[in-house]
Amino acid sequence: MEAFDDIRRSVKSLCAGFPGEYWRTLDAERAYPIAFVEALTQAGFLAALIPEEYGGSGLPLAAACVILETIQAEGCNGAACHAQMYTMGTILRHGSAEQKAHLLPQLAKGTVRLQAFGVTEPSSGTDTTAIRTFARRIGDHYVINGQKVFTSRAEHSDMMLLLARTTPRDQLRRKSDGLSVFLVDLREAVGISLRPIRTMMNHATCEVFIDTLHVPATNLIGEEGKGFRYILDSMNAERILIAAECIGDARWFIRKAADYARERVVFGHPIGRNQGVQFPIARAYAATEAAALMVKKAAALFDAHAPCGAEANMAKLLAAEASWQTADMCVQTHGGYGFAEQFDVERKFRETRLYQVAPVSTNMILAYLGEHVLHLPKSY
């Protein structure tokens, strides 16, 4: 725990150099936080999960959770760079020795960014096995055609982890077979075009159009057709890490609301003395601390290479709900000032709302738990 406490202090110190004014300016300009991401890179935080032999810190996922939670708790936004952590689940566990030796040292040094995860498509949404992007093997290359949507940070990434079909779905008994994962070098790619999607928060996401993209066969991760299993490691890591971010958001909202409730005087006394103000803050705090325990449990299972699908999903569900509960409470506590940009509450309110939907919606998590944990009939 002492090592993690040191990490928390270091991240907090770094974030102090990027106060609310920095994020408000970026939000107004819809700009990517280049300076913030560079600072995290130079401090080694984005290389936390990369093994030491490749130049990284070799830390467990639990440490990465601390990094991202602290970023959010300090009022910053880790969504600008968190993919470089959760994509490690696929690369470290399923990448070849040659792929890791080539890519990981560059990621650790910060000379290459792996920030894009190309999975979701307009016609498939949450049904990953229904994707249509297709990769056909021709000699020593794959030729890929298709489209992705809500591929965040592709404009600011050098590499992308891309999921594509390599066997038509109608030729398979199991729809999760026939999917493959590729490392795509966006710097050299001919046949990829990006179209930014403007959203309610400053979240660099876009559509990706893929037209006759040639990818070397050496960029295939693991075995052809086994990609769905490979990306589950990244998806579980993604859900756990984003759950940690939600915990950080929730703690920021609670601190912000409690501070305001102590200082704001109406009718001659602090509003925090009123149970109508105090109880929602206390209830949000309890929900946050309970969700934080599930995040810790899920991270521990992931680090132990134990099955953690249910725990990763529950961590994401509970943490996202806690962060949204605290966000709503914080706005209500501030009243009209909760909508004023200078307090940062409305910005963080918009940012944390995303996680009721992404990277997997709360309803799909409930459906997963119903079918795979409680053994109820499939609901979709």
Task: Return d(Cα 309, Cα 315) in angstroms, integer.
Answer: 10
Which residues are 196's β-sheet partners?
A: 206
The dihedral sign for the CA sequence 247, 253, 259, 261: negative
The amino acid that residue 198 corresponds to is: R
H helices of the chain, where?
Answer: 2-15, 20-29, 34-42, 61-73, 83-86, 88-94, 97-109, 227-263, 275-303, 309-334, 345-353, 362-368
Which single residue is written with the structure tokens 């990763």? 312
Question: Is 238 among the catalytic positions?
Answer: yes
Structure tokens at 60: 């467990």
Six-digit token pair at 373? 């944990």
- Residue 101 parent element (H or E): helix 97-109
Q: Cα–Cα distance between 71 and 248 in angstroms, integer?
A: 7
Distance (Å) of CA 35 to CA 9, 14, 153: 20, 11, 15
Catalytic option among 238, 311, 346, 351: 238
* Residue from 224, 142, 147 nearest 184 by CA: 142
Phi, psi of 214 (to 5 degrees): -95, 120
Give bridge partners of residue 180 from the DSSP assignment.
164
Active site residues: 238
